Amino acid sequence: MRWTNTVVPLLLVSGVACAADSEERTFPIWGDEARARGYSIPLPFGIGINYMNMRQNIDVDSIGFSGLALGNHTIPTDMFNIDAGHTREQSKTENLRLDMWVFPFLNVYGIVGHTRGSSVSNVSVDADPSRYTGVDRLIASSVHQLYQSGDLQDIDFVLDFKGTTWGTGITLAGGYQNWFALVDTNYTRTDFDILDGKISALTVSPRVGYRFSFQGPAGQSHLGVWLGTMYQDVQQEFRGSLADLHMPAALQPLINAVNQDGDGRFDVKQKLTSPWNMLIGTQFEMTQNFNLLTEFGFNQRNSFFVAGEYRF
């Protein structure tokens, strides 16, 4: 079976400065005062399309089975001792982002998109016959013998997932001359199309960078580069029918024997191995209306992010 996280999507603003906008606007509030003091600020509204590809390690807290039976005999839910070792997860997310600068230093946004991914866990399954009597003891003994023979050790469990991701966030930004700093905070949730359960993620990403100005093909352009870090607090729980999982060959006979009626269920709880990773990114502002952004994550979490944005 498979379980994962979402990877939750990374969101960035256009930077603290863009081409100057001489029109009087309601937003951002205090924008006219900021421009009068010589600050260059972004156009107030933005729409963007983002793509995130992420890979990271996962710690599986628990795996449970329920609704299993052998003939008319119900199997205890705690019979199988499932030990999950190394788990690696990957996810891909595409989303649409709408944002607005409320103040020159505060951006608010909402996102909606689609996430798909999978995880692979190294799993071993055992049972303790001494805890049971009768039919339960026979089942536990059979599982234990398969474990001792190595048939139920180091099995690759794969859990696929996909669903709709939505969320909201804020960005605080500021700068001095060509240097800028920002802190992005967002909450996202992914609701699955097939599996029960969800992924909830709180992400905080501070960044510090420098903005270069030059003459581009369409006029004055800017290139921003930055270093940063990302913190994610992700809660993942997956529930569903055992019949919907793609079981490895070593486990399929056992599952077929105890899930003949198709009522078997699974419940998996997991979390990120490490909440932090490093970021390096760049943004090319072709004009005050169009920009392209790329960002890479490394260390404990590997990620690639690319986005295109139109501001107005």
List the chain pLDDT tens, one digit each, 312 residues. 333 333 333 333 333 433 344 456 788 999 888 888 877 788 999 999 999 999 999 999 888 889 999 988 999 999 999 998 889 999 999 999 999 999 999 999 999 999 999 989 899 999 999 999 999 999 999 999 999 999 999 998 888 889 999 999 999 999 988 999 999 999 999 998 777 878 899 999 999 999 999 987 778 899 999 999 999 998 888 888 888 887 777 788 888 889 988 899 988 888 899 999 999 999 999 999 999 999 999 998 999 999 999 999
CATH number assigned to the domain comprising residue 299: 2.40.128
In a domain, 20, yes or no: no
Query: Which domain covers residue 51, as residue numbers?
Result: 31-311
Q: From CA 227, how far away is CA 281, in angstroms rounded?
A: 7
**Is residue 164 a part of any domain in this protein?**
yes
Residues in the chain, overall count: 312
Q: What's the pTM value of the predicted model, to 2 decimals?
A: 0.84
**Residue 203 resides in a domain:** yes
Beta bridge partners of 175: 180
Continuous segment of H or E residues that includes residue 224: strand 219-241
Whether 97 and 50 have beta carbons less than 8 Å apart is answered as yes
What are the C-alpha distances in Å from 217 to residues 19, 20, 178, 288?
15, 18, 22, 13
Split into its structural domains, the chain has a count of 1
The answer to whether residue 18 sits within a structural domain is: no
Q: How many CB atoms lie within 10 A of CB 97?
A: 21
